[in-house]
Amino acid sequence: MAEATVVHIEVIYALPDTVWRKSLTLPQGASVNDALQASGLAVDYPELFSDPVSTGIYGVACAADHILADADRVEVYRALRFDPKESRRRRALHRFATKKSLKGGKPSRRNVQVRA
């Protein structure tokens, strides 16, 4: 069986309201960085490349020098807007406050004043 001399890949960049997608045919041995350059993503989103870009293949993080295989999907990841620990803490506080308000306004024992 003859070895393929090209690889067919797809570059994906997901935004909150749309998905940027480009299918490419590159020579075998091409890296993730080669795919990003050939895709033209930097032309459409130049602000993305002001910092190092996080990439992955099918959800698994990879380096820019990773060699691509046929049918790989290169995913470009956006930077996190919030610290994940802080987000979990805020959600937990919100759930706690919601449960407390749904109890029907029953006062807790700590807040009950005893009158003699």
Most confident of 72-76, 85-89, 112-116: 72-76
- Position 99 pLDDT exceeds 80: no
- pLDDT value for 4: 72
Structural domain contains residue 109: no
Structural domain contains residue 17: yes
CATH number at residue 91: 3.10.20.30
For residue 17, the enclosing domain spans: 1-103
Structural domain contains residue 112: no
- Position 15 pLDDT exceeds 80: yes
Structural domain contains residue 114: no
- Of 33 and 99, the one with more pLDDT: 33
Structure tokens at 110: 């700590």
Per-residue pLDDT of 28-69, as tens digits, reads 999 999 999 999 999 999 988 888 889 999 999 999 999 999
| Rounded Cα–Cα distance for residues 111 and 98 (Å) | 18
Structural domain contains residue 108: no
| Rounded Cα–Cα distance for residues 73 and 53 (Å) | 16
| Number of domains, the chain | 1
